[in-house]
Amino acid sequence: MTDRAVRRRRQALFLFFFLPGIALSSWVTRTPDVRDQLGLSTGQMGLVLFGLSVGSMIGILCSGRFVSRFGTRPVIALGTLLIIVGTAVIGAGSAVPSASLVAVGLCLFGAGMGGGEVAVNVDGADVERITGTAVLPTLHGCFSLGTVIGGSAGMAATAADVPVSWHLAVVALVATGILVHAMRAVPVGIGISAAPSTPAPGPGPDPGPDPARRPGPQVWKDRKLLLIGAIVLAMALAEGAANDWLPLLMVDGHGLDAAMGSLVYVGFAAAMTLGRFSGTYFLGRFGRAAVVRASAVSGAVGLLLVIFSDNALVAATAVLFWGLGASLGFPVALSAAGDSGPDQTARVSLVAIIGYVAFLVGPPALGFLGDHYGLRSAMVVVLMFVASAILIAPAADTRGRATATADAPHPAPPSANPAGQHREDRS
């Protein structure tokens, strides 16, 4: 693959992370309006969000097999199409209004996110292998950038009383254009058993994907990989909880109006974006384990203040710490998973599945807790998971395994890498 083709492929992946960010934040910023239009309680809203969980599980459980059989390209295309259709159906359900139709739309949306985004992460990990640079943090940064732009547009639409159905119809139209443009740059055969990725030049064994070996017992028995999965679970839950509940949390838990609740969510998304785009620098300087630990501490502090402070300004400011803390755990752990041993596709797929289960399936369950104890109290569960990531952060340091399975095209000598970091931790 030529350098130009790799650049076009990476840019296409940027768009495939950017698109679901716009779509998801557009829905999230309108959740107070949708809830009011449907006349639902917090618990009933959790039931509607359960459609997202069902779709997500379907997409997640099918993604690994589909990528192994068909490659990442068709799975990305189908997943993105489902996100677009789901967004349009959610808008239609809010216009009727019909809670069932909104739940169906969320189911389609979740299937697209759960299936398509796993495939995009596998493709992104393959680009990391080819280029020898950290790509996943920036790719996930594009998702967060999409949430900032989508959230800002959603906040403006809320303030201007634009109907939810019109707003989401425009989002679906824009997303369709992005899909058509970006799909042409994604190569066929990545992740498919009949056409594994081209091995990188250089000495040593090739740790690239061997999709004939799907995630099976040998992967589940890898204790290091499971600890990495636990980090992803905690940090993805922190991100997903904000994406599903933060506007309502600020409205119901801290007395803000819907527009201000959306503004706080945009602040969270902006903090996520800043953390992910600056992540490569900090990874190169301090390494994965230190970055994950600092991220978990920041997230825990932010959640602690949001939950227990009665001052709305303090809580809104603490959301920035929450966003910074949640920004790097998911992409850094995915890089660590791909670097933790042979069969990169299986390892990245497994950890991505764990992450998307937490990101898409975990937050709706918080609605049932919120109905009984309030959303602020429900977030204590998220706080406990994030705090646990502080203790298991060293699992993200896979330098020992990277040495055994080095695949960089031009490995740097120790003197050129005084921090001793693996290639994916450098800028």
Is the model's pLDDT at 158 over the cut of 60?
A: yes
Residue 194 is assigned to a structural domain of this protein? no
- The mean pLDDT of 206-222, rounded to a whole number, is 49
pLDDT in tens, 252-304: 889 888 888 888 988 998 998 899 888 878 888 888 899 999 999 999 999 99
* Cis, bond preceding 363 (omega within 30 deg of 0): no
Residue 141 is assigned to a structural domain of this protein? yes
Residue 411 is assigned to a structural domain of this protein? no
pLDDT at 399: 57
Residue 283 is assigned to a structural domain of this protein? yes
Measured CA to CA in angstroms, residue 391 lies from 5, 64, 171, 408 at distances of: 41, 29, 40, 30
Residue 355 is assigned to a structural domain of this protein? yes
CATH code of the domain containing 213: 1.20.1250.20
Is the model's pLDDT at 409 over the cut of 50?
A: no
pLDDT at 124: 85
pLDDT in tens, 101-115: 999 999 999 899 888
Residue 159 is assigned to a structural domain of this protein? yes
Q: How many CB atoms lie within 10 A of CB 347?
A: 27
Report the distance separating Cα 273 and Cα 276, nearest Å: 5
Give percent above pLDDT 90 in the chain: 30
- The mean pLDDT of 75-87, rounded to a whole number, is 94
pLDDT at 311: 93
Query: Where in the sequence is the domain holding 19, given as residue range(s)?
Result: 3-187+209-401
Is the model's pLDDT at 213 over the cut of 50?
A: no
Residue 424 is assigned to a structural domain of this protein? no
Closest-CA residue to 335 (of 348, 326, 345): 348
Number of domains into which the chain is organized: 1
Report the distance separating Cα 78 and Cα 111, nearest Å: 10
Residue 275 is assigned to a structural domain of this protein? yes
**Least confident interval from 15-29, 31-45, 146-160, 396-410:** 396-410
Per DSSP, the three-state class of 44 is: helix
How many secondary structure helices (H) and strands (E) does the chain include?
A: 18, 0
Handedness of CA 370, 374, 376, 379 (dihedral sign): negative
Measured CA to CA in angstroms, residue 161 lies from 41, 169, 264 at distances of: 22, 15, 18
Predicted confidence band at 1 (pLDDT cuts at 50, 70, 90)? Answer: low
Predicted TM-score (pTM) of the model is: 0.68
Q: Which residues are CB-neighbours of 219 under 8 A, at least 6 positions away?
A: 225, 343, 346, 347, 350
